[in-house]
Amino acid sequence: MKNIAGKVVVITGASSGFGECTARHLASLGAKVVLGARRQERLADICSSIRDAGGQAAYRQTDVTRREDVQGLVDLALSEFGRLDVMINNAGLMAIAPLDADKVEEWDAMIDINIKGVLYGISAALPVFRKQNSGHFINLSSVGGIKVSAPGGVVYSGTKFAVHAISEGLRVEAGPNIRTTTLSPGAVDSELKYGSSDPAAAAAMVEFYKTAIPTQTIADTIAFAISQADNVDINDIVLRPTSQEF
């Protein structure tokens, strides 16, 4: 983990779950973390806790569906710490429901958060990485981006397939000194399982997630990807419970 200390890491969706756990873990390894999410009070508490433990952290209230918010988060990293080394596009929504339920507003929200949120993160960070001639994108996809989780997960899977496509295209276009990692979790404990307003789908998700593995597994995996030598690019990681079939 020696390649983590001193790196400046921006994390979206950092007020709970994957983002919070990863922020705490990377800070404990010496990274300088910059946290974005909509819940400002949660961000303040997390940053205060990290600083009390001897780490370095900053935060900005961030809605990833607003391009200017994501740009402001990257700008904060530059103003506070002078550079940006890792952009973790983590914010996500999993609103599981069958297509017949016609949850169009939730479809729109997943497209805006899961796809546009990643693109806005790329838009904000890529020029910085170009100027530095170094950087690392870590984009959160899902096993639902490898196999369509139907019934119920069609639109969610569509957004996560898009994350895979965007990440692979980014890897090719970004060039030899900018790394791209796509992380595809299965059932890992987080608030994602509460994203649906469809009663039957929501109940099924809670039941399914009884086999979930701890959130710390995501933090450990992200740390592994970041810690590699600068000329090593870990492109795709899939992790899930040993009992999970798909």
Ramachandran area for residue 123 (φ above 0: left; ψ -120 to 50: alpha; else beta): alpha
SS3 (DSSP) at 184: strand
Active-site annotation holder among 59, 120, 156, 209: 156
Of the candidates 48, 32, 38, the one whose C-alpha atom is nearest the C-alpha of residue 12 is 38
DSSP 113: I
Cα(154)–Cα(202) distance, rounded to whole angstroms? Answer: 15
Task: Please give the Cα distance from 123 to 128 (Å, whole number).
Answer: 10
Write out the E strands in 13-141: 32-37, 56-61, 86-89, 135-140
**Do you find a cis peptide bond into 151, omega within 30 degrees of 0?**
yes
Query: d(Cα 77, Cα 31) in Å, to the nearest integer?
Result: 12
**Which residues lie closer than 8 Å to 189 by C-beta, 6 or more apart?**
17, 209, 212, 213, 214, 215
User: Are 201 and 3 a contacting pair, CB within 8 Å?
Assistant: no
Alpha-carbon distance of 164 to 182, in angstroms, equals: 7
Placement of tokens 């090719």 in the chain: 172
Answer yes or no: 156 catalytic: yes
Report the catalytic residues: 156
